Amino acid sequence: MPRPLRIAIGGVHIESSTFTPHLSTADDFEVTRGDTLLARYDWLSPVHPWAADVEWIPLVHARALPGGVVDAASYDAWSTEITRTLAEIGPVDGILLDIHGAMSVVGRDDAEGDLVTAIRSVIGPEPFISAAMDLHGNVSPVLFHGCDLLTCYRTAPHVDVWETRERAARNLVDALRRGERPDKALVHVPVLLPGEMTSTRIEPARGLYGRIPEIEARDGIIDAAIWIGFAWADQPRCRAAVVVTGTSAGPTTDAARELGDLFWAARDEFAFVAPTGSMDDCLDAATVAVTDPARRPFFISDSGDNPGAGGADDVTFALERMLARPAIRDGSLRAVYASLVDPETVAQIAGQPVGSAVDVLAGGRIDPREPGPLRLEGTLEAVADDPDGGRCVSVRVGGLSVLLTSRRMQYRQLASYTRLGIAVDAVDLVVVKIGYLEPELFDAAGDWLLALTPGGVDQDLERLPYERLVRPLFPLDRDFVADLAVVTG
């Protein structure tokens, strides 16, 4: 009887903006090991039939909210732990690499490429590596050649995260049981767009990703994947990519070329997922819109400082514009601002009785761009503990609830508002540091706009100081002929 397959699981998962002053450290990460790591994957509890007769070996997995560049010491510690454990456990048949694909590390241009290279230096060329990634990651040549199978999410907002990880694991097991190394083909598409222009809720991304099932149904194809790439890092690897894996070289190469051509042909069709404007434009529109009950609550995305893409989470630009509105100051317009990370200010006031008068400075401590820390003179409205934000408070200023957190977080779930006593459906306006609205907010919104605010994940890419991208690159450049060469491996 053949021995069970031995497959190790690990990785480091974060999306890092190189344009934010935030530095991601080990304190920002949730780290799992041992049985706790294996318990993340529901195909192991109980074991699905395809995953049986496999010895699943936990390495280490570190995951964080998107942020700034990761400090080298933290990354090196996890990379070393992964390679040391691989050396200790002996030969493996395969590795499931659970990563994002847009991690940046101080002193490195291609963090995931660095990680797969370190892993290969220990396990050698024979074991198969299967990478599960975010579609906002990057596929560098080093990562492509270091892996045997690569796949990514097919939805944005991402509602297929665990489905993607299971697909990567199942494809790996199937390939190992066939005993044949997959064929794979890569096409880099010279396009770099923010995620808010590429939501799969709308065309052309919906149709582009909609082609994947038909392609995967073809003889000789295992998986087809499309990466939008990560727009908020200034690195040569940042660009869109298509990777197709299969059991036959010809169909695999043809499918990669086909998807690459479709992506390039659609480049001019991509548009923001919602109407956009400056913060003041959006506030003007919201003030009119909320007179119609059907359009309440009205949401505005403070997109330039979105912590879900790597923003510092404490730029005060949008909040200042809200506080300048008489209708908000006098309470005739009920509004919420979610949120600013400011552990110092939270610690200063969280111990006071609810209802206490407060006079504090908030925000602008990580990313000090104008207007910097703002004075909040109002009332302590609520105090609560949040699993993402830690100790959180709500400060009421006129008709505005300003939410302050101890840890960086994204107010994407209604439960986070409820903890601070806010029923979203009972307010007029919610300004939230986010890009496209995540599903719960999208469903709750009467209407919404995307504000093109400043920050480390500015949606207006032409305002970012890129220096190291491989050019030409659409839409920063427009009049050029694309090189859609297919790379095989």
Query: What are the DSSP calls for 228-267, one per residue?
Result: ---TTS-STT-SEEEEEEESSHHHHHHHHHHHHHHHHHTG
How many whole angstroms separate alpha carbon 16 and alpha carbon 32? Answer: 20
| Cβ proximity of 136 and 112 under 8 Å | no
| Cβ proximity of 192 and 474 under 8 Å | yes
Q: Mean pLDDT over residues 148-158, rounded?
A: 97
Identify the residue whose tokens are 């039939």. 49
Q: How many CB atoms lie under 10 A from the CB of residue 463? A: 11
* Chain segment 376-393, per-residue pLDDT in tens: 999 999 999 999 999 999
| Chain mean position to CA 277 | 23
How does strand 183-189 pair with strand 240-246? Answer: antiparallel
- Report percent pLDDT > 70 for the chain: 100
Q: Mean pLDDT over residues 351-380, rounded?
A: 98
| Cβ proximity of 310 and 319 under 8 Å | no
Partners of 221 in beta bridges? 246
- Residue 135: what pLDDT? 98
Please list, in sequence order, all residues whose beta carbon lies within 8 angstroms of the beta carbon of residue 80, skipping any fewer than 6 positions away: none
Q: Which of 153, 178, 201 is nearest to 50 (CA)?
A: 178
- Residue 330: what pLDDT? 96
Residue 3 has pLDDT above 90, yes or no: no
Partners of 130 in beta bridges? 96, 149
| Chain mean position to CA 49 | 31
How many whole angstroms separate alpha carbon 463 and alpha carbon 231? Answer: 12
How many whole angstroms separate alpha carbon 15 and alpha carbon 64? Answer: 8
Q: Mean pLDDT over residues 410-437, rounded?
A: 98
Burial class (CB in 10 A: 0-12, 13-18, 19+), 443: exposed
Residue 324 has pLDDT above 80, yes or no: yes
Q: What is the mean pLDDT of the chain?
A: 97
Q: Which of 65, 82, 57, 61 is nearest to 28 (CA)?
A: 65
Q: Mean pLDDT over residues 371-378, rounded?
A: 98
Q: Indicate the pTM of the whole model.
A: 0.95
Phi, then psi, of 285 in degrees rounded to 5? -65, -40
Residue 176 has pLDDT above 90, yes or no: yes
Q: Mean pLDDT over residues 468-479, rounded?
A: 97
Q: How many CB atoms lie under 10 A from the CB of residue 354? A: 12
Tokens of 276: 């956009």
Partners of 360 in beta bridges? 376
Residue 345 has pLDDT above 70, yes or no: yes
- Residue 1: what pLDDT? 52
How many whole angstroms separate alpha carbon 393 and alpha carbon 382? Answer: 6
- Residue 180: what pLDDT? 95
* Chain segment 17-38, per-residue pLDDT in tens: 999 999 999 999 999 999 999 9
